[in-house]
Structure 1
Amino acid sequence: MTSPPAGRDGRRRQLAPYAFIAPFYVLYGLFMIVPIAAGVYLSMTEWVGLGTPEFVGLDNFANLARDTSFHKALGNSLIFVLISLFLVVPAALLIAQALNTRGLRARDLFRVTFFIPMVLSPIVIALVYSLLLDRDYGLVNSVLRALFGTGTTDWLGDPTLAKVSVGFVLLWRWVGYLTIFFLAALQAVPRERYEAAEIDGAGPWRTFTAVTLPGIRPVTAFVVVTSFIGASQLFDEPFLITGGGPGEETLTVAMFVYRAAFDRQQFGYAAAAGVVLFVVVFAISQLLNRLLSIGRTS
């Protein structure tokens, strides 16, 4: 048998790498590009889940622009994003800094303790906090009643306190997860940098801003972007604990999509809200990537 021509053999070698990476792109197209395209098409239709979707163009988006419930959901989602970025992320960094202290005993025990909320089922978390924050029989009000004589606070029924309660659950559940990332980053900062800062007479705050923060910048950027995306798509905590109430005070965009699709069978309208959420999250994520220089080596 004669060997294949050199030209054909060369082409095969050139195409070999593409054959190895082709499965990724096939799966990416099937499970990402196709669903996104289908969602965009569905957002321009009126469909109740059965029959043929009726094309309505941009009417769904025009209705969203006038929908006060959607505006409320956007505002609530923004509040939870701010809680995540300016409360959860800094708290995780401070805890990681404390756990990274030299000579700290039972460090592994603290790590496990902070990480446990992340592995618990959202159903269990919702049940526990519903019992703790119940107005009449909750443990929190019982303790307040015993210590201060006041224990009638409606933690889940007051519009402001309901947001605070959901925000606290976010803090309790996610801070340990983010702490793991920060702790790994802190342990990767060379010890020599801290020793040099100490020799130069830098205090704790100066060392933190001049050595620690620059050393963990890539991980910080990753945590900020992923926290923003997760908080923007928040669903479990408000859905299970408050049901979006009282009224619509804890309604998020993800819950708005769920209600439109499965409560009112407005699948096209729900898809339009999902497309708006996708565009907003994608645009702001790209902006954060540029501001935080993610993926850049210089």
Structure 2
Amino acid sequence: MIRDKRSEYLAALVLVGPFIVIYGLLFVWPTIQMIALSFTDAPLIGPGEWVGFENYIDILNHRLFRNAAWNTVYFVVLTVVPNTLISLAIAMAVNRLKGWQQGFVMACFFLPYILPVSVVYLIWNWIIDVQYGLIQYVVRPFNGGEPMSLTRTIPFFMPTVAAVTIWWTLGFNVLLFIAGLRNISPEIYEAASLDSAGRWRQFRRITWPLVWPVTALVLTIQLIAQLKIFDQIYLFSIGGRQDPTIVMVQYIYKLAFQQNKGGEGAAAATILFAIIIILSVLQFQALRARGQK
């Protein structure tokens, strides 16, 4: 039995070993290096002197950091829950279709997800363009008949980018929800119909509780993704004022790559890394605990 256990451990090590090595080299070691760099005054490339927690104190007292943190939280509020609810609604509608119609509609919602962010930016930059954008036909009646640049007007910048992000990313969430809905036995709905349960009651008593694990997963994935938002914000803010709409990753980019402050950039990245881990773990555990009640 000892030999059998040793052979099992050896087989497991052979199978898991490459992943552990790659994960350690590409994630664990760079993370350790980033944390160590955050306690120095090093530039982006090159050594630096040990300064302790000075970088963290300076960043937390920096007005631009607080602005970036607020904008990131605001963007999370605009995207995470709305994206999840819209994806669930679409998945429930698509799940009622059959045959080629279901496949076609699923493909239509998923296709934007495979587009690179540069293509998404070009598409929507054309749609919201002040001179010939299609969205201006909707905006003009609410702006006294005048066109409005949604990405150059600060109050509308975040909601506009949030809407683009939801359009771009909901396809993957729809697939996850459809997979969860297909695991619900049709016999449960048939029994509920025999008990005169309407659609709303079926959703509240059957669909929502049984699809809750998928909902918790989608919410956690969206929270992590939107806390790391950068591409869309950066592209849509080109040519305009970036500081009022700056987010956390953009703030890190500004410190490290534009101002050559590698130590402060690493400190800001470490703070964001800790926030993502803490919030994602707390949210997932809270959502899972709610689903087990």
- Secondary structure of 2:135's aligned partner: helix
* 1:163 alignment partner, one of 141, 150, 158: 158
Range 226-235 or range 173-182, more displaced: 173-182
Q: Is the 8 A contact 2:39 2:55 kept in 1?
A: yes
Tell me the distance in 1 between the aligned counterparts of 2:149 and 2:20: 51
Q: Which residue of 2 aligns with 1:92?
A: 87
Cα separation, partners in 2 of 1:163 and 1:10, compared to 1, 3 Å: closer
Unaligned runs of 5+ in 2: none
Range 16-25 or range 202-211, more displaced: 16-25
Cα separation, partners in 2 of 1:217 and 1:131, compared to 1, 3 Å: same
Q: Which residue of 1 aligns with 2:281?
A: 286
Aligned letter for 2:30? P
Write out aligned runs for 1:144-183 (5 A): 150-183=145-178
Q: Which residue of 2 aligns with 1:69?
A: 64
Q: Is the 8 A contact 1:244 1:251 kept in 2?
A: no
Whether 2:38 is the aligned partner of 1:43: answer yes
Q: Is the 8 A contact 1:85 1:228 kept in 2?
A: yes
Measured after TM superposition, the shift of residue 154 of structure 1 is 2.1
Q: Which residue of 2 aligns with 1:202?
A: 197
Q: Is the 8 A contact 1:142 1:151 kept in 2?
A: no
Tell me the distance in 1 between the aligned counterparts of 2:205 and 2:35: 46
Unaligned runs of 5+ in 1: 1-5
Tell me the distance in 1 between the aligned counterparts of 2:134 and 2:203: 39
Taking only aligned residues, the RMSD between alpha carbons, in angstroms, comes to 2.6
Measured after TM superposition, the shift of residue 209 of structure 1 is 1.2
Write out aligned runs for 1:100-139 (5 A): 100-102=95-97, 106-139=101-134
Cα separation, partners in 2 of 1:56 and 1:131, compared to 1, 3 Å: same
Q: Which residue of 2 aligns with 1:141?
A: 136
Cα separation, partners in 2 of 1:225 and 1:269, compared to 1, 3 Å: same
Measured after TM superposition, the shift of residue 53 of structure 1 is 1.8
Q: Is the 8 A contact 1:244 1:255 kept in 2?
A: no
Q: Which residue of 1 aligns with 2:7?
A: 13
Measured after TM superposition, the shift of residue 259 of structure 1 is 1.2
Measured after TM superposition, the shift of residue 248 of structure 1 is 2.5
Whether 2:199 is the aligned partner of 1:214: answer no
Cα separation, partners in 2 of 1:146 and 1:78, compared to 1, 3 Å: closer
Whether 2:244 is the aligned partner of 1:238: answer no
Name the TM-score, length of structure 2 as normaliser. 0.90
Tell me the distance in 1 between the aligned counterparts of 2:5 and 2:100: 61
Q: Which residue of 2 aligns with 1:3?
A: none
Tell me the distance in 2 between the aligned counterparts of 1:92 and 1:69: 34
Over the matched positions of the two proteins, sequence identity in percent amounts to 29
Q: Is the 8 A contact 1:122 1:237 kept in 2?
A: yes
Tell me the distance in 1 between the aligned counterparts of 2:155 and 2:142: 24
Q: Is the 8 A contact 1:244 1:252 kept in 2?
A: no
Tell me the distance in 1 between the aligned counterparts of 2:179 and 2:239: 36
Q: Is the 8 A contact 1:159 1:249 kept in 2?
A: yes
Cα separation, partners in 2 of 1:243 and 1:220, compared to 1, 3 Å: same
Q: Is the 8 A contact 1:45 1:53 kept in 2?
A: yes
Measured after TM superposition, the shift of residue 238 of structure 1 is 0.8
Aligned letter for 1:289? F
Whether 2:67 is the aligned partner of 1:59: answer no
- The number of residues matched between the two structures is 291
* 1:255 alignment partner, one of 250, 253, 271: 250
Measured after TM superposition, the shift of residue 24 of structure 1 is 2.5
Range 103-112 or range 204-213, more displaced: 103-112
Tell me the distance in 2 between the aligned counterparts of 1:52 and 1:11: 47
Cα separation, partners in 2 of 1:160 and 1:120, compared to 1, 3 Å: same
